[in-house]
Structure 1
Amino acid sequence: MAANQVDKGKATTQEPLPLGKKKITLKAEDGHLFEIERSVAMDCLGIVKTFFEENEHDDDNVNVIVPLPNVSSAALTQIIKYCKKHVGFREDEADEPKKAEMKAFDGDFINHQSVDMLKEILLAANYLNVKSLLELAEDNVAERIKNKSVEYVREFFGIENDFTEEEENRLREENSWAFEGVDAD
């Protein structure tokens, strides 16, 4: 069977796969392809589930390419790693050792991300509708900027200062309480 072309969010179908090896191919913004088990993608990636609902892919036995124009390969690699670890894990059903293992994995996973990768993961998790990873990334960003200076936060998010020196000094004087207890950057 010849493969169809990906056309603005439309799926590409390829040869049917054996029942035990159902895969979905994710196409990152730079064109790199990632094969992921269908069960992992459907359980973890909300956008994939929505894609299948909207495109009416009833044949579970066909490999489908899902375009992800807002996700880099680097971020997708990390998200797939996270999802594979979390697939099937349900906090309300897990025992205490499993919860502790997942918490340790999450902490290690997110704390070892660079600032740039963390921001990419945050945006990609939001786009892909990976709620648990989005919350984890949001909490980590909040922790990283907690009690930091305005200059640090601007640099962290790549925000250009649009205040004149006089305006900024006036605001600092009027709101001096907001600058108390700020950590050294």
Structure 2
Amino acid sequence: MTVCVVTEEQFDGELIESLLKAKGLEQARVFVGGNRSSAESLASSLMVVKQLPVALVLDAEAHDPSKIQSRRRQLEALVGAITSMEEWKLILMAPELEILFFRVPGLLESLGLPAPSSEQLKIAEYVPGKVLEELVTSGSAKRARNTPWRQWLMKRFSRLPHDEIWKLEPFAELQRFLIQVEQASESAALGDP
């Protein structure tokens, strides 16, 4: 059974797609909404119209746990009103998906990026995408000037092992959901209750 993973932005979708491919989770297809409300609408349509399980991966756009939890409750109430909790999963990346580059030890260096300063690390806790862009576009990153920074980064990222990333929450939560859906699908195909 196909599982849909819906993201807000193209870069987020490419990151998730690279992670899924490296993990061998071929039953998942990535869809990009373009922005938060479009991603929410796309996820709802896939669940209701196509009747497919969906993981909705969104940037929390917050650092404060109470704000993140409030956002989670709002989205779960909205999406939960149209389908059962077994059919979908909300994955909030706090504050945004790019935080993974700062949470996995040695990842930035293995991508050929300079180590962030202590000031950049503080800023990355709130806006990791901005700091990541600074690191990639700095003069010390060996990147062709005519290559867009996200494209350069994805080419390098897709070549790396991703095992450490899958151990981090909320990536581990996403993996559990995808495996759960796959196992439920296999059970249904075998006629198990």
Provide TM-score, normalisation by structure 2: 0.26
Rg larger in 1 or in 2? 1
Provide TM-score, normalisation by structure 1: 0.27
User: Larger relative CO (CA 8 A, sep 6+): 1 or 2?
Assistant: 2
